[in-house]
Structure 1
């Protein structure tokens, strides 16, 4: 068979770009976007708060009905309300018709960083967690599970605390300040 044949080998066909008036309002649309250092991506004229955990990364925004799914590295990172209506979707720069199924969400614990203060108590999801004064100044990792928080330093377990509430984690990176001169 020649190089122009339609055999089973080769890459799958690319998804078609979307042009205004070509798609139905209910069509699922995807657009790749960069998230800036503040956790914001531009979608049309809208500034969409994606979140600091995806800052400085490239994501796929999947617009499906009233929802916008944020996909990073082939995993569903989060779902948010759609910032634009169905009629505006076809006019988005780089928009294409979604070709596959929605990927599964990430499994496992959310990981956050905290710098341990002098009193040894850190805050995660509005809950005070005692790491110990011994580790003051150290950057620890907190694994947020459904029922507990596990604090580690250099992959060694320090302490486990029961989770008393289901407040969402809103800050993922530690606040580290430059030393005063």
Structure 2
């Protein structure tokens, strides 16, 4: 019995080594989401443009669209904003914004200054919707299909190469929904 106890550290070391070795080949930008292929979480939150207007998950249905989680305190959100303007304003892609744990007045000023690519912006001051989505931090971008089902999640900045991938996915989803 004592001879077997000698091997416990060796087995633990090998197990840890295999776990760490596997991690070397994983993409750190890919975070699992339990919500893929599930309906967008139910919510009832104010619109950034009219705080008396209440938005719900039903407002995100009807077409394949992006939902971008952003905040004025997020430096990466500012970096990606020019790309979002190109996608939303120039290419006409529907983008919904989720203003995450932010001051609505600062968010309105920010969009006035840097332009507004969003069709609607949901105010999530307390971060409860972000919590329901499993948001790690801003920015994050989701693809939502016509029925309000989350089909894809991207963590981090949307740049030109990410956009090419997202656009291809959106086109595939639109064909599936047709």
TM over 0.5, shorter chain = no
Q: Which has the higher helix share?
A: 2
The answer to which structure, 1 or 2, has the higher relative contact order (CA under 8 A, 6+ apart) is 2
Larger gyration radius, structure 1 or structure 2: 1
Normalising by structure 2, report the TM-score. 0.26
The normalised TM-score by structure 1 is 0.25
Q: Which has a greater percent of strand?
A: 1
